[in-house]
Amino acid sequence: MSNKAVLPSVEEEYRLRRGSLRKETNTVSGGHTPQKMEARAPRQKRSRAMPEVSSSDIDNHMQAARAASTMRSRDSTLKGYKEVCDKHGFTHFPITADSMVCYIVSLTIKGLMWETVHNYTGKVKVESRLHETAPLSNADQEKIRLALHAAKRLLRNRKKKRTGR
């Protein structure tokens, strides 16, 4: 910055505008030397009652919980799951052991990596919790676990394709 002197008229105008925006007060705090503190404008009184919330407010709030890329990935995964269910005559939700095994086999035949199959299956399970009235039985959970284990064994040597090599 330059060390030029500020014209008195400009300095006065600056002080007037600054003073209209915030008031400065001298206060002694804790026995120390006076400090300049801003006096804040009083807040407007808010109602202490809780506001009414609509279903669209709730939907918007919950949509903000996940990033846009996460939502696209989730939607793509669910679209693939629903496509498999439609082809084989299963209801989408709540999930059944048969629909999940069919989906896992489909992903395995497609030749995806094991981690991808595992992630996609997890996303479908999470979505199913929104639609389920009761969790899957132990026998159904075991059937899904075995299908995932088989997919892991079949896709074990599948490596991520590296680019640029």
Q: Is the peptide bond before 94 cis (omega within 30 degrees of 0)?
A: yes
Q: What is the model's pTM? A: 0.60
3-state helix, strand, coil in the chain (%, to 5): 55, 5, 40
HSE toward the beta carbon, residue 21, CA cutoff 13 A:
6
What are the tens digits of pLDDT across the range 79-124? 999 999 999 999 888 888 999 999 999 999 998 888 999 999 999 9
Query: What confidence score (pLDDT) does residue 129 get?
Result: 85
What are the tens digits of pLDDT across the range 3-54? 567 778 777 777 777 766 555 444 444 545 454 555 566 666 667 788 888 8
Q: Which domains does the chain have, with CATH numbers?
A: 71-162 (1.10.150)
